[in-house]
A and B are shown apart, each in its own frame.
Chain A
Amino acid sequence: MKRFAKLFAAIDQSTKTTVKVAALADYFSDAPEADKLWTVALFSGRRPKRAVTTTRLREWASEAADVPLWLFEESYAIVGDLAETISLVLPPNPTQDDRPLSHWIGALRQLRDMEEAERKAFVLDCWRVLGGTERFLFNKLITGGFRVGVSQKLMTRALAQATGKPEAELAHRLMGNWHPDEVNWHALIEAEDASADASRPYPFYLAYALEAEPETLGDPTDWRAEWKWDGIRGQLILRDGDYFVWSRGEELMTDRFPELARAIDHLPPGTVLDGELLVWIPGSDAPSSFNALQARIGRKTVPKKLLKDAPVVLHAYDLLEWQGQDIRDRPFAERRALLEVACADLPPEAAVRLSPQHAFDDWSALADLRLTARAAQAEGLMLKRADSPYLAGRKKGDWWKWKLDPLTIDAVMIYAQSGSGRRANLFTDFTFAVWNGNDLVPFTKAYSGLTDAEFRKITAWVRKNTEERYGPVRKVKPHHVFEIAFEGIQASPRHKSGVALRFPRMARWRHDKPLQEANTLDDLKEMLRIYG
């Protein structure tokens, strides 16, 4: 595992993409094939099946390190990473072992068939022969969730450097349902025909947020506009009489959306649609809120009642494959025309609808339309250049999301809790309240939105202004007012305030605002009435 640990250290230590890509390309040129395959798999979110529960790992580590379990748990809460916590509490030792990554993956596979006692002895032994980064990586392999500072985009670039194949082709090869147990390096990366798998999706094209005025985009006739829906981005694949639904996070969600099976009857095989999954009650003018969809995402199998109460429809906005041909290179206007043909006569039961485009003559008309997005349950507008191809990944220039400004409210910070992982020594998790008469009623938590410097400043303040402690939570003196931005508001009987916010964050630290001038519960209720 030393070679893999060296790669990991090089990537982990640097913040420069050139350094990371060079380290990866280097690795892909000289590491053993089985190791390379697993590295690509791990860095793209695939992992060996979990052989040990994290509960056991915590118990064993606490025992081996002679640290009481509660203290191990407290340390874990601060470190924020179980694999790292284990490797840090165990006595240090230099790695004495030279076996490759694939060996350790194989060892983990055997672990699954062992008896508990044998399994424990095995893991303890691995902790003894592996030290430093290798021990941390071994724990990562067991616990899964291999997050390194490398995006799939960078890895693909490095693979392109090492293999001489185009990045776009490699990105497509790495999509979908492959697993390193079932494929080898040659078949995945090098073989001529890489499209054998009927379920394989295309890499999603992602938009950047439009920061400037839309006028900077030039002639409005070059652009097409549609709602930016507040649902789940999905790709519907119809091939060989079957259907597959992929999320943007490359998760296969087919079983969660059984209603989309009906699309097979209405669209020809060899069709791939890009669109938004939305809960849309038949007969209503707008989709249901994201909350309704959340109930569906949580279920791996969908009960009949939920299927009826929260029916899902794919609002298609792009066509990537038509009659078995990859048409991503054709201009958006042309793909859209084909999409309109494909969706022309779809009956409601097809569960696929064309996402409408909005005609507009000038940018100011579009700006007016954008302001009505909330009534349509949309987050704003999407702007797409008419002649743009469908690219892979997040690229600037052809697609923009032009979101509504968030809702905001001024609130008082009343509780603080320290973060974990990257924010281990800072207070970053705060609870905010609004006035109800002379009382402060908590209504939301927020973790993000401040700069590092601001987090440091508030951390120093919290240390000096703690009034009470409840475990990791500190009650602080009500003093600071923050502007909280959020995307939506819902009634929620589970919360004391009666509301739940969607994606709350700290938009601004209102140093200028006295405590008494923060908003009230009545203000919040009024927002609920208007936007809920």
Chain B
Amino acid sequence: MEEGGARAPGCDRGPVQTRRGTYISAMTRDPVLQFTDRGIYCPAGDFHIDPWLPVDRALITHGHADHARDGMGRYLATHEALPVMRHRLGDVALEGIGYGQTRRIGGANVSFHPAGHVPGSAQIRVEVAGEVFVASGDYKVVDDGLSTPFEPVRCHHFITESTFGLPVFRWRPQADVAAEINDWWRGCAAAGKTAFLGAYSLGKAQRLLSMLDPGIGPILTHAAVENTNEVLRGQGIALPDTTLVTPELVPKEHTRALVLSPPSALGSQWARRFGPQESAFASGWMALRGVRRRRAGDRGFVISDHADWRGLLWAITETGAENIYVTHGYTDIFTRYLNDEGWNAEVVPTQFEGESLDTGDVA
């Protein structure tokens, strides 16, 4: 990396590098962002980003449960993220902000920029005395047609995830995966079987909905998915028509159906009443045969709302940042690679979970 190549204009007082690569502003002697046991903290603005323990003021990247938690005094997130957060967190002090809009909080300038992860997700840019940090939360760099697409933000310090930070993870174009899923659904329909597709309720489920071909048959939904659908439809996001599976619903009246449900519902009592069926799971983890065989049921489709290996490296390069903080995923390996390639990277422990196969069933 070119030394200082990405410094923001007006930053005449160069940051000072310490032993662990943490930059300290020469003026305040406080880092712009600190990694504390409550979450990512900004001393200049006295706020936390995606904290996991109660704090007064929380800036939230997106509404998934490991980033937007209960118990904060007040919350700031993008306008697009608010409805889901309200749905999940109930009556709490929520405030919205537009993408790209700058807000002064204490001594910090704060703005939210699209992260492309799920609708409303943001990277949070924090600038103090010309020094810029970006906390990216979770992100993906391809346009899923639903979320506001990822935009790289120039900065000195970039906080990144590395859920799929290994070169074996390489996503195929969304249209290819859509064709695969629709082919499978068509096959199920032709064989007189109900197709069960498991995916997380917020984000992935709606992205899959937008990829399905409603010409094949009716699309049914589990309540966990449908609740989020309603929230997103309510904020103007167009989704295909879906029918909620209620106890009264008669499966026989919905031949050729595809049922979209949380992964935990696959193969459950709830699913079994549909009779002959196939089940599939949509996740980035399905790229690994071992995981696919353990978790997929009949099929595994490789699709993720996180960046793949090349996506992560592209995003990091585009920020121009020299200092990279890796929060979750294959942190050790990914950090070592970044350091070998000339970045100044370190692992920071957090309680973010990335794309878990196992929890994260939110909203």
Contact = CB atoms under 8 A, between A and B. Distances in A.
B100 interface: no
Interface residues of B, number: 31
A421 interface: yes
A424 B349 contact: no
A470 to B, nearest CB: 10
Contact of A422 (B294, B299, B332, B340): B294
B290 A80 contact: yes
A425 interface: yes
Interface residues of A, number: 40
A13 interface: yes
Contacts of A15: 297-298
A84 B351 contact: no
A71 B356 CA distance: 23
Given A74-B333, A78-B330, A425 B299 contact: no
Contacts of B289: 12, 81, 84, 136, 421
A424 B290 contact: yes
Interface string A409-436: 0000000000011111100000000000
Interface string B316-360: 000000000000001011001100100000000101010011110
Given A79-B290, A81-B289, A71 B330 contact: no
B249 interface: no
Interface string A464-477: 10100101100000
A89 interface: yes
Contacts of A75: 166-168
Nearest to A66: B167
B285 interface: yes
A129 interface: no
Contacts of A65: 167
Contacts of A424: 285, 288, 290-291
Contacts of B166: 71, 74-75, 78
A254 interface: no
A456 interface: yes
17 contacts: A12-B289, A15-B297, A65-B167, A68-B337, A71-B337, A75-B167, A75-B168, A78-B168, A81-B290, A84-B288, A85-B168, A420-B290, A421-B289, A424-B291, A456-B358, A456-B359, A460-B358
A14 interface: yes
A71 B288 contact: no
Given A13-B299, A14-B298, A460-B359, A88 B287 contact: yes
A249 B318 CA distance: 55
Contacts of B20: none
A88 B170 contact: yes
B167 A67 contact: yes
A459 interface: yes
Interface string A85-116: 10011001000000000000000000000000
